[in-house]
Amino acid sequence: MLERLFKLKQNQTNIKQEVIAGVTTFLSMAYIIFVNPMMLADAGMDHGAVFVATCLAAAIGCLIMGVIANYPIALAPGMGLNAFFTYTVVGEMGYSWETALGAVFLSGGCFFILSLVRIREWIVNSIPMSLRLGIGAGIGLFLALIGLKNAGIVVASSATLVTIGDITAFPAVMSMLGFFLIIAMVHRGMKSAVIMSILVVTLLGILFGDVHYQGMVSLPPSVLPTFMQMDLSSVLEISMLSVVFAFLFVDLFDTSGTLVAVAQMGGFLDDRGRLPRLNRALMADSTATIAGAMLGTSTTTSYIESTAGVSAGGRTGLTAVVVGCLFLLSLFISPLAGTVPVYATAGTLFYVAILMMSGLVHVAWEDLTEAAPVVVICILMPLTFSIATGIALGFISYVMIKLMSGRYKDLSLGIVILAVLFVAKFIYD
């Protein structure tokens, strides 16, 4: 059955190799089990319910990707998108988390439709590569700021806006230790570096009496506090369109970039450099986002950590299915997830920021008309504490700079329309 479903021999792999690859990918991305509930709890959501929603959404996405698209690509609620959900939509803009879930649901539905009607390529191609790179890097800096804030390393200041906190305090020391551990273990080739760092810092917190140990294994908590709690009526307001747009396009760029990166590493691209069964992969991603919103979590997306499994020999969807099964098993470690302190994940956020900023190496820095909008996004996204605002100002800057520089031929119709819409949003917001 596995041979018929995943074509193991045709892809020059076997069950053992796929299982090892699945475990490798899971260990590389399992940190989301601890980070996502903690982050969405800041939006007022129930920690236990979000924990269950995170595991189930990841499992659904992985199983669909594995069985339908037959790619070794794992999915889970995305980093950056969960920060946008909590700190921008709920925290800054003042919407309820129910409304934010409605926006996630609607963006997932739009993503699904775009995958069906095959206009995804037009949308992605209309956005300049420099802006796509800038969005990823800006989100990385945004996550870094959140991590530093959670660690107490960066604090508010009435005189200078922000300043350094007490870096000798226990949470700050543990956060820095966690970050150093991740970098050291990644450098040594350990696939489980991130989750090991979280567990080590949590253990130290317990030993020093700063964390109350709540146990290791139990039956899963109830998902009812977040299940089907989406507020779709409020999403139809004009002011929410930019939120839905941000959810949709960040997911679209993130998924597209991840699919290409994993496909290149695994040799899945065809002779024309295209990914076979691309629409199936995109529909798996969008379906998981819709299911995740119904369960009670932010946008579910493809994970770049899937490259860890591919490097370990993963070649088929069986790898993704193994990851999905491991997420289902993770439902029974909710006490451990509740034990993890916020500072144990601060180093993880900073590490993810490094990964997301690495794309800046591909920016054409010698061309100021391309580089300047990237810097606008990277600086304003964390300083305004808003992913949506950073994207909007970056798009507006790109169009204005190109027009005033006489480089109007570089502009596509899509980017101009989006910039105009963003200007209208700032005027009438």
Query: What is the residue-wise DSSP string for 202-236?
Result: HHHHHHTTSS----S--PPPP-TTTTT---HHHHT
Distance, first Cα to last Cα, the chain:
56
Q: Judge whether 320 and 163 are in contact, CB under 8 Å.
A: no
pTM for the predicted model, two decimal places: 0.81
- The two structure tokens encoding residue 183: 């970098």
- If you write DSSP's letter for every residue of 244-257 in order, what string do you get? HHHHHHHHHHHHHH
- What confidence tier does 323 reach under pLDDT thresholds 50, 70, 90? very high
**CA dist., res. 67 & res. 326, Å (int):** 16
Average pLDDT over residues 386-414: 88
Q: Judge whether 356 and 136 are in contact, CB under 8 Å.
A: yes
Identify each DSSP E strand in 33-150 by its residue range: 75-77
pLDDT digits (tens, 9 = 90+) for 358-372: 888 889 999 999 999
Neighbour-count burial of 82, counting CB atoms closer than 10 A to its CB (0-12 exposed, 13-18 middle, 19+ buried): buried
Displacement of CA 144 from its chain's centroid (Å): 14
Kindly tell me if the per-residue pLDDT of 168 is higher than 80.
yes
Displacement of CA 125 from its chain's centroid (Å): 21
**CA dist., res. 302 & res. 64, Å (int):** 12
Q: Which of 55, 59, 54, 36 is nearest to 322 (CA)?
A: 59
For Cα atoms 76, 232, 283, give the angle at the middle one, nearest 5 degrees.
40
**CA dist., res. 424 & res. 429, Å (int):** 8
Torsion angle of the four alpha carbons 179, 180, 183, 185, in this order, in degrees rounded to the nearest 10: -110
Determine which helix (DSSP H) or strand (DSSP E) holds 132, and give its type and residue range. Answer: helix 129-151
**DSSP 3-state assignment of 158?**
coil
Average pLDDT over residues 44-55: 94
**CA dist., res. 154 & res. 156, Å (int):** 7
Identify each DSSP E strand in 5-86 by its residue range: 75-77
Over pLDDT 90: what percentage of the chain? 35
pLDDT for res 401: 95
Kindly tell me if the per-residue pLDDT of 194 is higher than 80.
yes
Average pLDDT over residues 189-209: 89
**What residues contact residue 339 under an 8 Å CB cut-off, 6+ apart?**
202, 206, 211, 212, 213, 214, 215
Identify each DSSP E strand in 261-406 by its residue range: 300-302
pLDDT digits (tens, 9 = 90+) for 243-302: 888 788 777 777 776 777 677 667 776 766 567 777 788 888 889 999 999 999 999 988
- What confidence tier does 174 reach under pLDDT thresholds 50, 70, 90? very high
pLDDT for res 134: 87
Average pLDDT over residues 68-93: 88
DSSP 188: T
Q: Which of 196, 224, 216 is nearest to 50 (CA)?
A: 224
